[in-house]
Structure 1
Amino acid sequence: MQKMIRVIIADDHPTVILGISHLLAEAQEIDIVGTASNSTELTKLLETRQCDVLLSDYAMPGGIYGDGVALLTFIRRRYPKLKTVIMTMIDNPSVLRSILKLNIKCVLSKSDDPSHVICAVFAAFLGKEYLSPAANQISKLLNLDSDGKSREPQLTKREVEVIRLFVSGLTVNEIAASLLRSKQTVSSQKASAMKKLGIQRDADLYKYAMETGLLAFSTSSN
């Protein structure tokens, strides 16, 4: 008898795939129809296998279709009816915001107990929302509207200008000289923007800029 939920697992770590496969095997209603280690393998599977729920890592480099938001956007466009569960180690609220904007309702933090995987697969199949505890805590840092949807943080024009220049490679001193502002003003505007984005580290600011296209804009503008 055919099982109810057909699942594809995508992760660039073989041990993760093995562990999740073993976990999902405990659910009689779930049938693992394929596994992939990068976006190239994943897209080939989606073209050849019937799949109800995709259980995928967020950061999965090495494939020709990229990873992160770029890959998820591609998959959402090509397979609009495919339900998706995203697994991630990234604790950046702006990344979660980008995932939610794609109407992906089920997100798991890899720091949480693996048992949440089965619950998330069932929730995704039924069109429900499921955030694991750590992901749920991160979601509380987001700016949500009355419908529970994530809104873009309202950065001022000057804050956006400072962030664009910073991620393009300029230092705070160089930005201050370029914009004819004091170093203190630029530092304050950068700090304010990062607070609104829920970002604490410069490395995460670069990730945000890459995911939102801000870095590409900055590079092309210079």
Structure 2
Amino acid sequence: MQDPVRVVVADDHPVILFGAEQALLKFPGLQVVARARQSTELVKVLQTVACDVLVTDLAMPGGQYGDGLPLIGYLRRNFPDLPIVVLTMLENAALLKRLSELGVTSVVNKSDDLSHIGLAVQHVSRNLEYMSPSVKASLDTLRMNAGGKNEEVMLSRRELEVVRLFVSGMTIKEISEQLNRSIKTISTQKNTAMRKLGIDRDSELFQYAQSNGLLNLSSHSVGDTGGAS
């Protein structure tokens, strides 16, 4: 008899955590061996509990290892052989591209049926990639819009600076005064950054910034992030 696939589930919302676990239990051969609510708990679990696949939310604030892309990067460096299924509400092009660059081969959107979590675990446990329907649709749209070109999404230092200040709570006028640039220039740089990232609304920009760790960057470190968007 084949050994069960041991799964660790991490999410800061109890309802999602419970729903994901129940969805996984419907798949024969999958076994939930531990749960975590933030990155501190998650890393401790991974260091002490044997598991084959990690299913983790992307936005889990509060832990000492952060969340979003910085957390995924930490997990990939410290647990390089552990397949990861990422749960998220975000579908923007830059985020999906960065997850792929970090070695994540499976992303499930929380708006899709939770059964896709089980399907994703089955796939990554066999070294296969899996994207839930809405994520796949976003990737297909991205490829069509790019006309088949695989272009790098990069923000300039100034665009990153504007995004960081904007998501920190400053208005366009306040940013223009602090950086000594015109309001029109700041607005253009913000809009250009959003266009490059495939983002239409300010709320998505805040989510992107959180996922990329931009909310925690100090001003002198912004320039180091240009190639990581």
TM-score grouping bracket, smaller chain normalisation: 0.7 to 0.9
Deviation by residue 1:131-157 (Cα, 9 ceiling, x = unmatched): 11111223245479x9x9975324456
Deviation by residue 1:63-98 (Cα, 9 ceiling, x = unmatched): 222221122111111110000101112343333233
Give me the whole-angstrom Cα distance separating, in 2, the residues matched to 1:87 and 1:195.
24
Normalising by structure 1, report the TM-score.
0.80
Q: Classify 1:26/1:204 alpha carbon distance in 2 versus 1 (closer, same or farther; 3 Å).
A: closer
Pairwise CA RMSD? 3.2
Deviation by residue 1:147-194 (Cα, 9 ceiling, x = unmatched): x9975324456645654554566543455564555x444433322221
Q: Verify the 8 A CA contact 2:70 2:213 in the aligned structure 1.
A: no
Deviation by residue 1:100-148 (Cα, 9 ceiling, x = unmatched): 221101000010011211210011111211111111223245479x9x9
Matches for 1:1-222 after TM superposition, within 5 Å = 3-140=3-140, 142=142, 152-155=152-155, 159-160=159-160, 162-163=162-163, 166-167=166-167, 171-176=171-176, 178-181=179-182, 183-212=183-212, 219-220=219-220
Amino acid at match of 2:112: D
Give me the whole-angstrom Cα distance separating, in 1, the residues matched to 2:57 and 2:72.
10
Q: Verify the 8 A CA contact 1:54 1:84 in the aligned structure 2.
A: yes
Q: Alignment partner of 2:9: what SS?
A: strand
- Identical-pair percentage: 44
Amino acid at match of 2:188: S
Q: Which moved more, 1:16-25 or 1:46-55?
A: 16-25
Instruction: Name which structure has the greater RCO, CA cutoff 8 Å, separation 6+.
Output: 2
Normalising by structure 2, report the TM-score.
0.78
Give me the whole-angstrom Cα distance separating, in 2, the residues matched to 1:96 and 1:216.
21
Amino acid at match of 1:121: V
Q: Alignment partner of 2:34: what SS?
A: strand
**Gaps (5+ residues) in structure 1?**
none
**Gaps (5+ residues) in structure 2?**
223-229
Alignment size in residue pairs: 219
Give me the whole-angstrom Cα distance separating, in 1, the residues matched to 2:79 and 2:189.
40
Give me the whole-angstrom Cα distance separating, in 2, the residues matched to 1:188 and 1:36.
41
